[in-house]
Amino acid sequence: MTQHSHNHTWDFWSGWSTISANNDTSFTIWFTGLPGTGKTTLAYLVRKTLLTRGYKVEIIDSQALS
């Protein structure tokens, strides 16, 4: 991950950015990989963490896009 021009810093101990959920910033996280490698598990763990930080989160499964 790289740091962008937004006003936030990276907390290397936790692995999470300290960007505020109150900003008008939006982003997409896209997990790709072979079947059975933990993409769905990881998505739900990231979702849980982002929700506790005040973000609105939606998970879209690739099968829903077909």
pLDDT in tens, 9-36: 545 555 555 556 666 778 889 999 999 9
Check residue 2 and give its pLDDT.
46
Q: Tell me the residue range of the domain where 26 lies.
A: 22-65
Domain contains 17: no
- Compute the average pLDDT of residues 29-58: 92
- Written as six digits, the tokens of 2 are 């790289």
Question: In sequence order, what E strands does 1-66 have?
Answer: 10-11, 16-17
Q: Is 28 among the domain residues? A: yes
Does residue 3 lie within any of the structural domains? no
pLDDT classification of 51: cutoffs 50, 70, 90 = very high
Question: Is 56 domain-assigned?
Answer: yes
Say how many domains are in the chain.
Answer: 1
